[in-house]
Chains A and B, each alone.
Chain A
Amino acid sequence: MRAAGRAEERRAYLLLALPAVILYLAVVAFPTVFSLGLSVTDYNGGPLFGEGRALNFRGLEHYVRMFQDRFFWISLKNNLAIIGISVFGQIPLGFIMAYVLYRKLVGWRDFFQTMIYLPTVISTIVVGILWQSFFSPYGPFTRLMQSIQPGWENTLFLNPKTAMLPVLFVMLWMYTGTYLIIFLASLQKIEPELIEAAKIDGANEWQVLGRVILPALSGVLVTTIILAISGSLKSFDLIFAMTAGNPARRTSVLSLYMYDTAFRGAPDFPLANAVSTFMVMLSLGLIGIVRLLEKRLGGDA
Chain B
Amino acid sequence: MRAALSAQARQKAGSRILRRETGLVSKVLLYGVLLAFAVMTLFPLAWLVISSFKTTQAFQLDPLGLPKRWYVANYPQAWRIGKFGTLLANSLLYTSVSTAAVILLASAAGFAFAKLKSRWTPVLHGTFVMGILLTIQSIMVPLFLVANMANLYNTRLGVLIVYTGISLPIPVYLFTAYIRGIPDAVVESARVDGAGYLTIFRRIILPMTRPVAVTVAILNIASIWNEFMLINILVSDDRLKSLPVGILKFSGALSSDYGKQFAALVIGLLPMVTFYLIFRKQITQGVSAGAVKG
Residues of A participating in the B interface, judged by any CB pair closer than 8 Å: 8-10, 12-13, 15-17, 19-21, 23-32, 34-35, 38, 48, 93, 96-97, 100, 105-106, 111-119, 121-126, 128-134, 138-140, 143, 173, 176, 178, 181-182, 184-186, 204, 220, 223, 226-227, 230, 233-237, 240-241, 254-255, 258-259, 262-263, 269, 272-273, 275-276, 279-280, 282-284, 286-287, 290
- Chain A residues lying within 8 Å of B292, measured Cβ to Cβ, are 182, 185-186, 220, 223
Residue pair A97, B33 in contact (C-beta under 8 Å): yes
- Chain B residues lying within 8 Å of A226, measured Cβ to Cβ, are 133, 294
Supposing A16-B109, A24-B168, A130-B48 touch, asked if A140 and B34 sit within 8 A by C-beta, the answer is no
- Chain B residues lying within 8 Å of A220, measured Cβ to Cβ, are 292
B31 → chain A closest CB, angstroms: 6
Supposing A12-B112, A38-B142, A223-B294 touch, asked if A106 and B233 sit within 8 A by C-beta, the answer is no
The 8 Å CB contact of B243, one of A123, A204, A273, is A123
B48 → chain A closest CB, angstroms: 6
B284 → chain A closest CB, angstroms: 5
Report the 9 A-B pairs with minimum CB-CB distance, sorted nearest first. Answer: A27-B165, A279-B138, A185-B288, A12-B197, A35-B142, A31-B142, A17-B112, A20-B109, A115-B38
Supposing A12-B112, A237-B229 touch, asked if A20 and B106 sit within 8 A by C-beta, the answer is yes
- Complex CA–CA separation, A140 to B50 (angstroms): 12
The 8 Å CB contact of B134, one of A19, A111, A129, A287, is A287
- Complex CA–CA separation, A1 to B232 (angstroms): 54
Residue pair B41, A23 in contact (C-beta under 8 Å): no
B94 within 8 A of A: no
Closest B residue by C-beta to A242: B251
Q: Could you list some 20 contacts between A and B, CB below 8 A? A: A12-B196, A20-B106, A23-B168, A28-B139, A97-B33, A97-B34, A116-B41, A117-B284, A118-B276, A121-B275, A123-B225, A123-B268, A126-B247, A130-B44, A185-B288, A258-B141, A262-B144, A276-B142, A279-B135, A279-B137
Residue pair B283, A34 in contact (C-beta under 8 Å): no
- Chain B residues lying within 8 Å of A16, measured Cβ to Cβ, are 108-109, 111-112, 116, 197-198, 201
Closest A residue by C-beta to B60: A138
Closest B residue by C-beta to A223: B294
B166 within 8 A of A: yes
A97 → chain B closest CB, angstroms: 6
Fill in one digit per residue for B132-170: 1 if any A CB lies within 8 Å of its CB, else 0: 011111111111111001000000000001101110110
Residue pair B250, A118 in contact (C-beta under 8 Å): no
Closest B residue by C-beta to A232: B135
B44 → chain A closest CB, angstroms: 5
- Complex CA–CA separation, A263 to B248 (angstroms): 17
B219 → chain A closest CB, angstroms: 11
- Chain B residues lying within 8 Å of A28, measured Cβ to Cβ, are 131, 134, 136, 139, 165-166
- Complex CA–CA separation, A236 to B139 (angstroms): 13
B49 → chain A closest CB, angstroms: 11
Residue pair B244, A125 in contact (C-beta under 8 Å): yes
- Chain B residues lying within 8 Å of A23, measured Cβ to Cβ, are 105, 161, 164-165, 168
- Complex CA–CA separation, A184 to B44 (angstroms): 26
- Chain B residues lying within 8 Å of A204, measured Cβ to Cβ, are 19
- Chain B residues lying within 8 Å of A235, measured Cβ to Cβ, are 137
- Chain A residues lying within 8 Å of B294, measured Cβ to Cβ, are 223, 226-227, 230, 290
- Chain B residues lying within 8 Å of A182, measured Cβ to Cβ, are 287-288, 291-292
Give chain B interface residues in 220-238, CB to chain A under 8 Å: 222, 225-226, 228-229, 232-233
Beyond contacts A27-B165, A121-B275: 13 other A-B pairs, Cβ-Cβ < 8 A, are: A12-B116, A17-B109, A23-B105, A23-B168, A27-B143, A28-B131, A106-B34, A129-B251, A129-B261, A255-B137, A262-B141, A276-B140, A276-B142
- Complex CA–CA separation, A111 to B140 (angstroms): 38
- Chain A residues lying within 8 Å of B108, measured Cβ to Cβ, are 16-17, 19-20
- Chain A residues lying within 8 Å of B196, measured Cβ to Cβ, are 8, 12
Dominant secondary structure of chain A at its interface with chain B: helix
- Chain A residues lying within 8 Å of B225, measured Cβ to Cβ, are 123
B114 → chain A closest CB, angstroms: 11
A16 → chain B closest CB, angstroms: 4
Residue pair A122, B137 in contact (C-beta under 8 Å): no
- Chain B residues lying within 8 Å of A119, measured Cβ to Cβ, are 41
Residue pair B284, A181 in contact (C-beta under 8 Å): yes
- Complex CA–CA separation, A32 to B112 (angstroms): 26
- Complex CA–CA separation, A272 to B140 (angstroms): 9
- Chain A residues lying within 8 Å of B198, measured Cβ to Cβ, are 12, 15-16
B189 within 8 A of A: no
- Chain B residues lying within 8 Å of A290, measured Cβ to Cβ, are 133, 294
- Chain B residues lying within 8 Å of A118, measured Cβ to Cβ, are 41, 273, 276
Residue pair B149, A280 in contact (C-beta under 8 Å): no
Residue pair B244, A123 in contact (C-beta under 8 Å): yes
Residue pair B116, A13 in contact (C-beta under 8 Å): yes
B236 → chain A closest CB, angstroms: 11
B182 within 8 A of A: no
Residue pair B268, A24 in contact (C-beta under 8 Å): no
- Chain B residues lying within 8 Å of A125, measured Cβ to Cβ, are 226, 228, 244-245, 247-248, 268
- Complex CA–CA separation, A258 to B233 (angstroms): 12
Supposing A35-B142, A178-B291, A230-B133 touch, asked if A240 and B228 sit within 8 A by C-beta, the answer is yes
B81 within 8 A of A: no
B269 within 8 A of A: yes
B210 within 8 A of A: no
- Chain A residues lying within 8 Å of B37, measured Cβ to Cβ, are 97, 112, 115-116, 176
